[in-house]
Structure 1
């Protein structure tokens, strides 16, 4: 983008503040750090039924109750983040403490069978604590975007780095689980968790530390909206005016929840065990496909990031969910016409078509979950221009709330569907016999995912923040910030003259 200058009271000012490329890259690791726990969360169902001895319906119900509690406290999390002001910054202390909290939450959750209290109670307590600390770290990823950069051409770059690092989380994680751990151990037992969880926690913590270095320079009040004064506080009551009549926030929060739900379901370990381990008949194929997805996913992200830079974020989001709906509908159609679904794992023409369609659907449904983080920063700027308030914590919390609801709802929906097809006491395991009820359960799960993607595709068209609107918002904030700085400078000069 050519440098664009504004003139306020005869003085030149710059409407955009930019980040260095390495700062964007490192900070994007904060999202990957929390996504490690989202990936690992998919194994909680196997642990709760196989080790702790809980029923699938009970697990689904406890997940729902914990999610309800988390939803009640989420606005308070946003308020806390927006009011943090330490000598180490606003975002970095929260990133560090919340990641340590995630480590402690998983130590607790995957040891509830050893607790002196009923496993249901222990699971509920562990889930509440986990959701709180998870929301804190997830919210910072969204909240700090507005401080990182407001350049319309630079903001979409976050999704490139985010996608690359998340390949390590989801693709690398799936390969590690299927090809190394599960292949060696052969079951989801305490030996498996004892090898898997410490490694996950260590990598996530390392990512968090690197992300803290990435945001260090921009974790500064002068990059907070109009430039906050130290000690300036936000109240929860004021936020109702921010949420009221905020169409961009409502539209994007809804779409973000729907697409996150879709992406979480088709990446859930219980679903993958049913889909690849039973319906397709080759559980290891899920790990292989994850590896084959790497290059196409990177190409997709680079291409759609370019679209976002040349057009806008809305265009990329809308195009991606459209492709996802077509790809997943084709996968469902292929399952219905295939004479034997297990032939899809044998390298025939039909299986190649299936793999290509699955990869396309998986990539295009995953991309919007990354770009929504950047779009939430646009909404923060929109609110600043409209109200003068800088509330990235609250806005980020809204997205963390919908993100957490969606990611928690995914195993709940899968659990109830699995219980409905006769697996009330445990989830189907890779290698179980393919029955009509399991096949129908898999189709129902895919149908629910497709429906959520189609709804997203329709609703996102009403999102109002396009490229032109964001350029006007950036100019408005720059002018108001310059006027505020000049006013403060005049007051300081007047005070000196009086003295």
Structure 2
């Protein structure tokens, strides 16, 4: 379709970097969009469990936490399979398609074909577990794509830009469709029919993303691209002990886990449907308008991702994460003060407050994008750091190890959200946009929507003080990898004489 062209490369400071075509970078970012489609859909899991399967709110939180832990356990298992597997057709596309088929089948049964038909907790749990297996297979495979595309420190942040753009644009668009179009169509209630319609939309969009990503990685999804630099004629298969060694000895991965996991549990708790319903539907008082205003504050903030990429390319991913995390903390604190000292319903009814809210949301979302973009690029750096440290190119093991710990920690996000709303009276029902606002709802929403992310960002700053992945260190790593690969080539040539 696009023709076969040789891999691009560029030399900087004596280091030859591998680069990817811009269109491949753009389409490969769709791998993030696929995951976000299911992320948005499963954000409604507490509603489908309650409405479609008759499961109590508190029990839903326990189930989602347990299945999230299962999600984490499957990560290292799938990661080992990925790093061991290497067919003549590659492995990225095969595993992503297989994973997508499994997770799509699971959610279609869960939301469309079995919901509201008298089935109970057992079927819901089984379907959720099936979804977890498919999601893990697709997601862990997708996480190795950035490291495969390029190792150029100036291009890696741009890979992060595209991934970040999809991470924000896809859920933004889907949330608009769900809250502005589908929700009013079904009486402003999260009914079984409304949830089924949401499922069909999310699965369809994810399928388009899968097709585009598969096209993008076709040039790099080849067996010869999955080799390390160890000085052995035959690479050893990846084992569980390799993953333990990663956690024990890779300082860069250790600090990244602390930074990213703390942010993840906070952001996932804040983005739970029960929390956003309380903020936009109950406190601001207009679910549709509140969602639209947040989207208006999101769209221009994508520009920040490009600014952040330029900054990261110049100063390194570590400094970029620290700088933009400080911005997040500052703006979030200002938003909390705003909600405390004004009547929040003014955001939906008066133009001045609406503008202030949108502008602050724009800056906060922009800073979050820059943190996410730097985080994505740093994961690719960690894969190369491990390649230099151990001589093993095990991208799936690195991402799988991180995902395992990350999901164990963030698995409590749904339980935290449902557990906390249960404390303010929602024990057997879920918050609805038509519920009246109370002080308990207000302070609980502020704590979950702003307070938890603030704690996560402080943890990020502490972790980044200890990470070795400065810009200068990554230049040393790439130079060392290049020298080791060249030494292996020369050794093979010498043995052939």
Quick check: TM above 0.5? yes
Whether 2:372 is the aligned partner of 1:364: answer: no
**Contact 1:225–1:384 under 8 Å retained in 2:** no
Whether 2:297 is the aligned partner of 1:289: answer: no
**Contact 2:332–2:454 under 8 Å retained in 1:** yes
Distance 1:424 1:103 in 2: 30
Q: Which residue of 2 aligns with 1:53?
A: 54
- Correspondent of 1:392 among 377, 390, 395: 395
- Correspondent of 2:414 among 411, 434, 438: 411
TM-superposed CA distance for 1:410, in Å, is 2.3
Match of 1:3, SS state, is: strand
TM-superposed CA distance for 1:293, in Å, is 2.8
Whether 2:348 is the aligned partner of 1:345: answer: yes
Tell which deviates more after alignment, 123-132 or 76-85: 123-132
TM-superposed CA distance for 1:194, in Å, is 3.0
Cα RMSD after superposing both structures: 2.3
- Correspondent of 2:380 among 377, 386, 389: 377
TM-superposed CA distance for 1:231, in Å, is 7.9
1:453-497: CA deviations, max 9, x gaps? 222233222221011111111111111111112222333x34xxx
Q: Which residue of 2 aligns with 1:271?
A: 275
Q: Which residue of 2 aligns with 1:148?
A: 149
Whether 2:12 is the aligned partner of 1:4: answer: yes
Distance 1:289 1:264, change over 3 A: farther
**Contact 2:304–2:369 under 8 Å retained in 1:** no
Distance 1:252 1:115 in 2: 44
Tell which deviates more after alignment, 445-454 or 78-87: 445-454
Which consecutive residues of structure 1, in runs of 5 or more, have no partner in the other structure?
7-13, 495-499
Distance 1:361 1:377 in 2: 25
Distance 1:210 1:348, change over 3 A: closer
Match of 2:16, SS state, is: coil
Tell which deviates more after alignment, 301-310 or 356-365: 356-365
Please report the TM-score for the alignment, with normalisation by the length of structure 2: 0.91
**Contact 1:263–1:362 under 8 Å retained in 2:** no
1:197-235: CA deviations, max 9, x gaps? 122112201211211121121123443353698886322
**Contact 2:318–2:469 under 8 Å retained in 1:** yes
TM-superposed CA distance for 1:115, in Å, is 7.2
1:118-138: CA deviations, max 9, x gaps? x22222222222222222222
Distance 1:134 1:403 in 2: 15
Distance 1:304 1:433 in 2: 40
Distance 1:276 1:469 in 2: 44
**Contact 2:79–2:400 under 8 Å retained in 1:** yes
- Correspondent of 1:464 among 468, 474, 479: 468
Please report the TM-score for the alignment, with normalisation by the length of structure 1: 0.91
For residues 225-244 of structure 1, the aligned pairs below 5 Å read 225-226=227-228, 233-244=237-248
Q: Which residue of 1 aligns with 2:6?
A: none
Tell which deviates more after alignment, 262-271 or 461-470: 262-271
Whether 2:179 is the aligned partner of 1:171: answer: no
Q: Which residue of 2 aligns with 1:37?
A: 38
Q: Which residue of 2 aligns with 1:355?
A: 358
Distance 1:291 1:351 in 2: 13
Match of 1:161, SS state, is: helix
Which consecutive residues of structure 2, in runs of 5 or more, have no partner in the other structure?
1-8
- Correspondent of 1:201 among 200, 203, 228: 203
**Contact 1:384–1:390 under 8 Å retained in 2:** yes
**Contact 1:144–1:392 under 8 Å retained in 2:** no
Distance 1:173 1:409, change over 3 A: same
Distance 2:12 2:338 in 1: 51
**Contact 2:70–2:132 under 8 Å retained in 1:** no
Q: Which residue of 2 aligns with 1:9?
A: none
Distance 2:206 2:135 in 1: 12
- Correspondent of 1:321 among 321, 325, 329: 325
- Correspondent of 1:480 among 477, 484, 487: 484
Match of 1:102, SS state, is: helix
For this pair of structures, how many residues does the alignment match?
A: 484
**Contact 2:226–2:393 under 8 Å retained in 1:** yes
Whether 2:139 is the aligned partner of 1:138: answer: yes
